[in-house]
Amino acid sequence: MAFVDIIGHARVKSILGRALRRGKLPNSLLFAGAAGVGKRETALVVAKALNCLNKTDDACEECSACRAIRNSAAPDVQVIAPQGTALKI
């Protein structure tokens, strides 16, 4: 999945794409909202775009880095899920 595959969220996709193109992504991003709106997928697309070997502002979905993230096999990208209502650190 790349930014073009995410339905809606045009403003968010525009801001993230522009930040990626400029190489000025913030140190941290917080994806908040109701369940099922695409927070996890958007965060994974940002991770793919940051690690993509072919593009600078989106994920190509074809390079080894994009495939590894898609298959949850990238050592530098880990999804941390809450246990109940809290994240355990």
The CATH number that applies at residue 46 is: 3.40.50.300
Query: What is the average pLDDT across 26-42?
Result: 89
pLDDT at 86 over 90: no
User: Could you tell me the residue range of the domain that residue 38 belongs to?
Assistant: 3-70
Band of residue 33 on the pLDDT scale cut at 50, 70, 90: confident
* Residue 81: predicted pLDDT: 79
Evaluate whether residue 36 is within a structural domain.
Answer: yes
**Bridge partners of residue 83, in order along the sequence:** 86
Residue 28 lies in a domain: yes
Residue in the structure block whose two tokens are 């246990």:
83
Whole-number pLDDT of residue 54 = 93
pLDDT at 88 over 80: no
Residue 48 near residue 65 (C-beta atoms within 8 A): yes
Does any domain span residue 50? yes
Is 81 among the domain residues? no
pLDDT category of residue 44 using cuts at 50, 70 and 90: very high
Domain count, the chain: 1
